[in-house]
Structure 1
Amino acid sequence: MFGLTFEKLLLVTLVAGIVIGPQRLPLYAHWLAETVRGLRGLLEKTRATAEAEIGVSLQRSDWAALDLRQYDPRRIVRDVLEEAPPGTAAVPAPRTQGAEPLPPADGAHADTNAEAALNDEAALNDEASRVRPGQRYLVTGSAAHPRRIRIDSLPVDDPRRIAAYRETRDDQDHAEQPGTTPPAATTPTR
């Protein structure tokens, strides 16, 4: 406390004994002890008043039970998985992220991959149908976490990029031919 070591306290005591003198030293030591007891009593009284008004214990030992680190979700799940209910076998440890899942026994694995590819292709075509001419960015993701992706950064064979450039080229072709106007559906209105 305050960087005081035993040697420093001994030195302060010796200096105080020399400065105060042997006659007054017991009187000042008694006064110091009474002051420390009074401060401790005041602190304890204030703590008791605060506990009564707030309704919460201010003892350090009571707060140790409310340590939020004990509510770490990873630790809770790990503890639940490690302890087995009485009369049952222990749950095997979860696989690591690099582990390959086991393929289904009935050959449904190939069907699942084909369906996923069709769904991805349909989603890309749906997004490609919403690309406007001259659009530079594609907004993907949820409304809470949107991501802006430059159309130029998409692969050349991506349907969204093809749609953006095809519509832009169609507009340029119509503008180059005299007497023709671009289709009304391609001009955005605001």
Structure 2
Amino acid sequence: MFGLTFEKLFLVAIIAGFVLGPSRLPGYAQQLGRAVRSVRQFVDTTRSAAEDEMGVPLRRSHWETMDVRQYDPRRIVADALRETDIDPNTEWPGEVLVEAGRVRPGQKYLITGPASHPRRILITSLPENDPRRIAAQVVGECRTAG
């Protein structure tokens, strides 16, 4: 606070000891303690008066009452990816159905895109009603049951 470090405060205390002398130093220390207590009491009474007049508690900061994790970009993206706005009766494009036919048992990723820039999609991240995910679950369930 105010750029004061322990070393600087210690140096000020040593200088005060030499300037004031050992006989007057305890009296000045008591006066400093009383001054700090009176300032602290003044701040507390002013804060409580402001709380009463405004009706808002000032002791708890706005950030403590607010969930700032909701603004984390990773959480926003994860929530957006989890949302499914797809109707279960949706007609799926032919390419999605072809990809669903190529899903193997135990396959965790779906490889899409051109060979020069393939994209890996985690099958469990697909919507519940996606034919590729359903094919992976059905094929996997048949293998484990047999």
TM-score using structure 1 length: 0.39
Structure showing greater radius of gyration is 1
The TM-score, its normalising length taken from structure 2, stands at 0.49
Query: Whose relative contact order is higher, 1 or 2, with alpha carbons under 8 Å and at least 6 apart?
Result: 2
